[in-house]
Each structure stands twice: as structure tokens, then as C-alpha cells.
Amino acid sequence: MHPILASIAIAGPETILTLGSLAALMLGSFTPQHRALTVTSLFAVAILAVAGFSLLDAPAGRSIAFDGLYVADDFSAFLKVIILAAAAASVLLALPWLGERGPDGISFGRFEYPVLLLLAALGMAMMVSANDLLSLYVGLELAALPSYVLAAFARNDARSSEAGLKYFVLGALASGMLLYGVTLVYGFAGSTQLDVIAGLVQGQAERSIGLLFGIVFLLAGLAFKVSAVPFHMWTPDVYEGAPTPVAAFFSAAPKAAALGLMARVLVVAFPGAVAADWQQIIMVIAIASMVLGAVAAVAQTNVKRLLAYSSIANIGFALVGLAPASPAGISALLFYISVYVAMTLGSFLVVLQLRRPDGSPVEAMADLAGLSKSQPRLALALAIFMFSLAGIPPLLGFWPKFAVFQAAIASGLLGLAIIGFVASVIAAFYYLRLIKIMYFDEPALALASSGSPVNGAMIAACAIFCSPIGMLAMSPLAVATARAAAALFPA
Amino acid sequence: MPILSIMILLPVVAALVVATLPGGDAERAGRARVVALATTLVEFAAGIWLWLNFDAASPAFQFGEQLELFAPYFGWSLGIDGIALMLIMLSVFLMPLCVLASWAAVNKRVPEYMAAFLLMESLMIGTFAARDIFLFYLFFEGGLIPMFLIIGIWGGARRIYASYKFFLYTLLGSVLMLVAMLWMVGQAGSSDIGVLARTDFPVGAQFWLFLAFFASFAVKMPMWPVHTWLPDAHVEAPTAGSVILAGVLLKLGGYGFIRFSLPMFPDASAQLIWLVFALSMVAVVYTSLVALVQHDMKKLIAYSSVAHMAFVTGGLFALNTQGIEGAMLLMLSHGLVSGALFLCVGVIYDRLHTREIGRYGGLADTMPKYALVLLFFTMASVGLPATSGFVAEFLVLLGLYQTSTWACLVLTTGIILGAGYMLWLYARVAYGKAAGDDTRAMPDLSAREIAILAPIVIATLWMGIYPKSFQTPMKPAIAAVVARLDGRELATVPTAMTLSPALPALASPAHAAESHH
């Protein structure tokens, strides 16, 4: 077979997503307008599902394509499953919101929404399969550009436009820094391909300052994408301003992709002696994110801002798994990502499902007062997500925290674990506050449910997964994450 | 038959049933009460079956179950020794009484209330039956969620403050313990409690591990100065919540000490007895004095609980058979007696809706049956011979005397102070004149209330007159713990405090285990 054809075959999911997104664009344009959104959305979900199933067909082990730009291994396959599932959920969960009309009679129900999501999913799939700093950058930008548009999707809403603009400006800045880091690494190491960099860097007699600078800039750009402190500033504003379905999307799939990318770049390209340099940085970022995410969330009154700070704190916990640079740590990181995606999507789904009596969406935490009486099932689901995010056993959310700290302690990072656990107690305070508002306070508003059965089913699925029943999934997940993590560490 | 799994899972299933019952509010409430009572009675029957089939001569974990459901993180590994058996018995004995006590007193969101209690029961049994250290942690921490909801939803005026305090205090203590657990399991290569209890950790590490576990258990216990969540939680919890809190949840700390701290860190335990004794001595005197000035009956009993728990820590860290046995008996006795005292407060609270001591008086005339029961439990709390409190406190002091005479001396003053505040409470509530017409008009105990309190009276007398039935199953397990502690170098400070070394030594820790059989 021609090498290009072989490469295309290896990059199966990406090929499907590329062709699928172009087809979805055509489909949307040539379908009568009142059906365009539904048809395109279902088509997009089907494409995502096909891309997911194509992963089953992939050859075992590690396959390199496009002259080393692209790699398909267990690590990328595991993350792609999460990314594709989260993207499909994001397409579906937006449908009720897209179908509604705002107070000024304008509907945002345009078919571009699922197409943009498909393109973003393509970019994210590229990110986790990037084996070269250049393909990494291309994947990152391909994921980011549709995200800017999505953030501003409610085009008549000033807050949404502001969120889009803010995200774009800061995102462009972060991309610039990342690119600067890439040039430095290339200049001081001599290659852009991750495994080649590893060999060159380990061969160097002494560590060069220039390379260190390159790593720092690279990490700054990546930290922005995962919204880790101190590059988190955009997160609360964008989550608050962007339409809720978009915020739900931002909190799930891109985080998984960026964390996966970060893990691959650091572990594959900078192993051994160089690892100590970036491990320190990761530890500082992790501690800062856990602590700031926990402390700053205490003062929030808006549910979406609260969830934004919660995602900052959770990224901090996930990064604890990256800090030891060990297979156990990466495995814990992947476990964390898979549970975190379910918890955060579930929380956003509940917020999305709730309606004030006048039909407007719920945003203020005070609106949720007495939810356990007006909507007991949604309140129960949100309580499960909150206790799970707080990491209280026996809910599933406890175990990823357990796994990352276990990996950290096994590598001797005892201080990191202690700070992390203390931060999780502070964080428990604000998760409890939401539960207090729902269960202890008297009802303020008679909240209604939007009644979307699809979203209801997704909430139920996420809630069951995060409940103690989900612990039954831990064993199979552990096998999968261990295999995926082993792919980053050449035997 | 996997009896322990059934005992853990049955209340969970019942809680799901209760929470999803069909029908209107009143119908659901009625059905929820019946289902909850039936479940707790079945659990009690299962507990009796456990006791009858328990081999009291063996120190091994019995009724063992092992399922690798959650590998590689932890295993579903269950089993009980005598200590766990007795504490499970206490839990399943108190549970039906709690349901009955809430029968009429709780009208708000009854199905959810009963579901929370059933979950609580399952988590408590799980805590005592877990043989995997992380499974233990899961149950130990999981108990926070239902208790948080019970205090926060069905509590009194300052319920929200109290629920937060309870949750965050205990959570902060526990996460440090979790770090220590993770480290220990990493070192020992197994999360089985039995294996860990046989592992000799380096003495230097034991010190830190001990302190990490201490942070958690001291908060749960609660020991001075981290006891402040308890009075708040008690005062704001509904009656049955207080009973479970005092009856079973406070025992988790003591259980933790005897299951983890003593056998896993024997050197650190021996070296740090001065810390535990100092805190216990302060606690006994300080909280007894605080109890004296309380106006709120529940707060008074809550502070007396802290004092009694200080006796438990004192007895446990006497590090000999008598002390540990006494501490175990005191935990059981305190579970019964303070639970009963909270029920007694609940009885008059249901009638007058106040816990102010000054609003009562003269109940010996108007409510003679009630006054009799209250007198009985007051005496049991003080430690009158023939009640369970006497046996337990006597053993604790006996054991403590050998290890530190000073600690024994100070703790003994606690008995006197205890008699002071309890008898004064009784005098103000039962004697004198009724504070008002509404007080005088209160009806005496109803048949349901007698049915709740009578079993506790019987159990208290039984434990006071024939404690052997409770001691026998625990003896082998306690002997195993003492054997672990045997020959460890004690901290020099408290042993040098012995007043008169010429007194006939009862038995050194080394021989206590054998001579007691």
C-alpha cells in the first residue's frame, strides 16, 4: 500500500471525522431549515459513533503514520473514546437549548453547532495522537477555533460575545506562547518529533537553559488549555458567559484532550533526568490549582462560575497524577479524566435541565433553594455529582482522587498528597453549600424541568456511574487505563 | 451464607424501597416507618444469629468473605472478631429503637429520613465488618453523608452550622488518615487489616502514622480539644440522630484506636501515651465542669459523652488487658446509657418542645414512671454498681492505675464530677416544683416509649450484673492486641508518675493477658 494510504488507514477516526464534518456541513446546507438542526445533530452523533467504533478495528500496539507526525496507540485510543463520547453527549445535550427561543424571539438553533463540535472533536483527536510538536499545534488550533465560535454562539447575547472574544484573545496569546516554546525546544533539542527529542535530550551532556525555557513556554500554553492556575483566568468568565451547553462541552472533552496531550508531550519527549524539571512545574501548578480552585469557589453565587472553579480544582487533582511521571500516575490520571468527565457533564446537564418559572435558565445558586422538594430526582442527581466531586466515599468521585494520591505517595510525593487532601476538604465546603441550598433551605422558586427525555437519560446514566454502583466499573477501567498508560513508557 | 454482606446490603435495598414508595405523603410516611422498623428488626435478628454462631474462643476473623470486586484498589473483604461483633450488636440493637423513637416525632419528609437511617445502619455495620483498610475507610467516611443530611434537614434551629461543622471537622481528620493508609499499604503491599496489624513499621514512621490516624480518631472520638463539633451536632440533631451519634458513631474512634493504632503502631502507642493521657485528663475534668453549667439537657449529656470517651481513651492506652477490656465495655455501656438518656430527653422534648432544664421540674410527681427510668439511667451514667457503667469504669481505672497512677487519679475525679452534674440534672428535672402549668400537664410515658426504653434497661442491668457474656467474645481479640503491645518500651513520663511503687502490682502488661484467663 502507498505510505499515504497506510497512514490514512491508521488515522481512521480522524479520517472519518474529517469527511463526516464536511458531509455534515453539506447536509445542513441542503436540508430544509426547520429540520436542518435535528438532522445534522443526529448525523454528527452517528459520525462520532462510527469514529468510535473504528477504534475497535485498530491494530494492537503502536502505529506511526505520516512520517512520525501521528501515532495511534492504546493511550490515544482510550482518550479518543472519552473525547468522542463527551462530544456526542455535548451535541445531544444542546438540542433542547438550541430548539428554544430566547426572550427576544431569536432562536440559536442553527445547524452549524453540531458541525463545529465535529471539527473540535477532530482537533482533539489529533491532539491526543500528536507525535510531533507541529501536529500537536495543528490539533490544538483545530480544536480551539471552533471553540471560540461556540463560546459566542448566542450571538445576540452580549455576555456570550464577550466570552467568545475573551476566550479568543487569551487563547491566541496562549497559542503564541506554546509556539514560542516549540521553537525553543526545536532550537535547543534539534527535532520536533517527540521520541526523537527524548533521545537527543538524554544524549546532551548538560541540560541547556534554552531547552528549559522551551519546556516552560510549552507548559504555559498547555496549562492555559487545561485551565490550570496561573493560566485559569478565562475559565470562570467564559463558563459564565458562554451558553450553558457550550460550557458543558468546554468542561469535558477539551480538558480530557489537553491533559492527554500534556501527559504525552512531557512523558515521551522529556523523560529521565529532564523529567525532574517539569515535574516541579507540574507540582506547583497542581497545588496552585487545587488550592485556588477550592478557595475561590467559596465566594461564588453563580452555578456556572462555581462549576468553573470546580473544574480548575479538579484539573489540579488530575495533574497530581502527572507529577510522579510513573505508569501508575498516568493510569490514575486517565482514571481521573474518565470519572471527571461524567461528573462535570452530569452537573451541567442538571443545570441545563432546570427552568425558572418564567422559562429562563437557572444560573444563580440561590435559585436552587429547596430543589429537593420541587424536583427531587434532579436534586438527588446533583447531590450525587456534588458529593462525588467533593470526593466523599463511597461515591465514585473518591476513587480517582485516591488513585492519583496513591501514585503520588508511591513516588514519594507525600507533601503533594497532604496538600491535595487538605484542599479537597476546603473544596468540600462549597460542594456542601450547593447541597445545603437544595436540601436544607426552603424553596424560593417552583423550578420546572425542561423535560427533555434524552437529557434526563444522560443525567441518570451519569448519576448511576458516579454513585457507589459505579465502583463496579473500577476494575475494568483500571485494566484499560493501565494498558493505555503503559503505551507512553517504552519497555 | 454471606451473612455480613446481607447485613450490609439489606438496609441499602430497604432504603431504596423506602425512598421510592408510591402513594401520597401520609401513606408513604406510614409505609416508610413500617419498612424501616421491619428491616432494623431483621438486622437485629441477624445480629443475634451472628452472636450465637460466633466462636468466642478464637481471635481470628470469622464469617469471612472475600471478593476481588474492586481490584486493584481494594477488595470486598469482610470478617469480624469479638470486638467488631459487640459493636455490631450495639448498632443493630439501637437501630430499631431509633426508628421507634422517630415514629411520631418526625413528620417532615419521613421516607427520606428513614432511608437516611437505613443507609447509616448499613455503613456502620460495614465499618465494623470491613477487613480491608480501604473498605473500612469507605464505610467510615460514607457515614458522613447520611449524618450530614439527618442533622441538616431534620435538626433544630442552628442545624446548618452544626451539620457543616460535623462534616468538615471529621473530614479533615480523616483525609490525613487516608494519606497514612496509602503509605502503609504501599509499604506492606497489602490492604488487609490482618496483614497490616502484623507488619512492623519502622519506629520513626510509626510516630507519624500514629499522629495521622490520631487526627482522625481523636475527632471522631471526640477528644479534647477537637470535641467542639459534638455538642453542636447533638443539640441540633433529632433525638434518634443523637442516639446514633452517641451510641454508635462515637464508637468509631475507639474502634479505630483498638483496630489500627494499637496493633499497627505499638511502639508509637507506647511512646505517646503521655499525649493521650494528657488529653484525656484535661477532657475529663474540663468537660465535666462545662457539663455542670449547661442549661440545655442535650448539651449536658453531650459534654458528659466527651468525658466518658476520655475514660475510653485512657483505658485503651493503659495498654493492658484490664484497661482495654474496660474501654470496650465502657463503649458498649456508654452506647446504651447515653443513647437512653438522649431518648429520655426526647420524651419530654416531644411534650414541651424545649430542652431548657429550667423549664422542667417536679417530674417525679407528675411523671413517676418517667422519673424512675431517668433515675436508672442517671445512675448508670454515674457508674452505680449493678449497672454497666460501674463494671466498665472500674476496669478502666484498674488498668490505668498500673500504667499511670496520676492519670488514674485525675480520671477518678471525673466520676465524682460526673455524679455531680448528673444528679444535679436529675434533681432539677425530677424534684422540686413544676416550672409551669404546661410542665405539670405532661402525660407520663406511653406504651411505645416504655417499649423503647425497657430493652435498654434490661441490657444495662445485664451488662452490669453479668458482664461476662459481653467480655467473653472480646477476650481473644483483646489478648491479641495486648500481645502486640507486649514488651514495647513505654514513654518514661507517665510511668515515673506512679505515686507509690510499693503497691502490689496487679500484673504487668506482659503477664496480664495470661493471668486474666
Q: Please check whether residue A464 touches B, CB under 8 A.
A: no
Q: Over pLDDT 90: what percentage of chain B?
A: 28
Owning domain of residue A399 = 271-491
Residue A196 reports pLDDT greater than 70: yes
DSSP A445: S
Across-strand partners of A132?
A193
How many whole angstroms from its chain centre is CA A277?
A: 25
DSSP A442: P
Does A129 map to a domain?
Answer: no
What pLDDT is attached to residue A105?
A: 65
Q: What is the pTM of this model?
A: 0.90
ipTM of the complex: 0.88
Does A48 map to a domain?
Answer: no
Does A452 map to a domain?
Answer: yes
Cα–Cα distance measured from residue A110 to residue A93, given in angstroms and rounded to the nearest whole number: 15
Q: Could you tell me the pLDDT band of residue A466, with boundaries at 50, 70 and 90?
A: very high
Q: Please check whether residue B13 touches A, CB under 8 A.
A: no
H or E element in which residue B80 lies: strand B74-80
What pLDDT is attached to residue B255?
A: 92
How far are the Cα atoms of A170, A361, A444 from residue A163, in angstroms, in the given order?
A: 11, 18, 29
Across-strand partners of A193?
A132
Query: Minimal CA–CA distance to B241: which of B353, B38, B111, B105?
Result: B105
Residue A33 reports pLDDT greater than 60: yes
Does A121 map to a domain?
Answer: no
Q: What CA dihedral angle connects B261, B263, B267 and B270, to 10 degrees? A: 70
Cell numbers at residue B212, please? 495521622
Residues 50-109 of A with CB under 8 A from B: none
What pLDDT is attached to residue A104?
A: 66
Q: Please check whether residue B117 touches A, CB under 8 A.
A: no
Mean pLDDT, range A455-484, rounded to an integer: 91
Interface test with B, best of A396, A402, A437 (most B CBs within 10 A): A402
Q: Amino acid letter at B342?
A: F
Whose cell is 442527581? That residue is A381
- pLDDT under 50: residue ranges of chain B: 493-517
Q: What CA dihedral angle connects B466, B471, B473 and B477, to 10 degrees? A: 180
Model confidence over A9-31: pLDDT tens digits? 888 899 999 999 999 999 999 98
Interchain proximity A402–B138, CB inside 8 Å: no
Whether residue A394 is preceded by a cis peptide bond, meaning omega within 30 degrees of 0, is: yes
Of the candidates A410, A422, A472, the beta carbon closest to that of B175 is on A422
Model confidence over A357-387: pLDDT tens digits? 877 788 888 888 888 888 888 999 999 999 9
Whether residue A393 is preceded by a cis peptide bond, meaning omega within 30 degrees of 0, is: no
How far are the Cα atoms of B139, B269, B411 from residue B480, in angstroms, in the given order?
A: 24, 15, 26
A129: CB partners within 8 A, 6+ apart = A11, A14, A70, A71, A72, A76, A80, A135, A139
Of the candidates B142, B175, B182, the beta carbon closest to that of A424 is on B175
- B499 contacts B278 by C-beta, under 8 angstroms: no
Count the neighbouring beta carbons within 10 Å of the beta carbon of residue A46: 13
Cα–Cα distance measured from residue B308 to residue B285, given in angstroms and rounded to the nearest whole number: 11
What pLDDT is attached to residue B506?
A: 46
How many whole angstroms from its chain centre is CA B81?
A: 17
**Tally of structural domains, chain A:** 1
Interchain proximity A424–B176, CB inside 8 Å: no
Strands A70-72 and A63-65 come out as antiparallel
**B395-404 burial string, b = 16+ CB within 10 Å, else e?**
bbbbbbbbbb
Query: Minimal CA–CA distance to B312: which of B375, B382, B389?
Result: B389
Interchain proximity A436–B152, CB inside 8 Å: yes
Of the candidates A429, A440, A471, the beta carbon closest to that of B153 is on A440
B65 three-state secondary structure: strand
Q: Could you tell me the pLDDT band of residue A117, with boundaries at 50, 70 and 90?
A: very high
Model confidence over B371-420: pLDDT tens digits? 999 999 999 998 888 888 888 999 999 988 888 888 888 889 988 999 99
Interface test with B, best of A382, A398, A430 (most B CBs within 10 A): A398
B205: CB partners within 8 A, 6+ apart = B183, B187
Q: What share of chain B is helix, strand, coil (3-state, %, to 5)?
A: 75, 5, 20
What pLDDT is attached to residue B492?
A: 54
What pLDDT is attached to residue A149?
A: 92
Does A487 map to a domain?
Answer: yes
Q: Which residues in A lie closer than 8 A to residue B111 (C-beta atoms)? A: none
Residues in chain A: 491
Q: Which residues in B lie closer than 8 A to residue A439 (C-beta atoms)? A: 149, 152-153
Does A294 map to a domain?
Answer: yes
Helices (DSSP H) in A190-274: which residue ranges? 194-203, 209-226, 234-241, 244-264
Mean pLDDT, range A62-81, rounded to an integer: 90
Instruction: Render B381-436 in DSSP notation, one character per residue.
Output: HHT-TTSHHHHHHHHHHHHHHHH-HHHHHHHHHHHHHHHHHHHHHHHHHHSS--SS
Cα–Cα distance measured from residue A15 to residue B319, given in angstroms and rounded to the nearest whole number: 70
How far are the Cα atoms of A23, A36, A101 from residue A33, in angstroms, in the given order?
A: 16, 5, 15
Does A249 map to a domain?
Answer: no
Does A348 map to a domain?
Answer: yes
Q: Which residues in B lie closer than 8 A to residue A422 (C-beta atoms)? A: 172, 175
Interchain proximity B186–A410, CB inside 8 Å: yes
Strands A448-449 and A354-355 come out as antiparallel
Cα–Cα distance measured from residue A308 to residue B343, given in angstroms and rounded to the nearest whole number: 46
What pLDDT is attached to residue B515?
A: 43
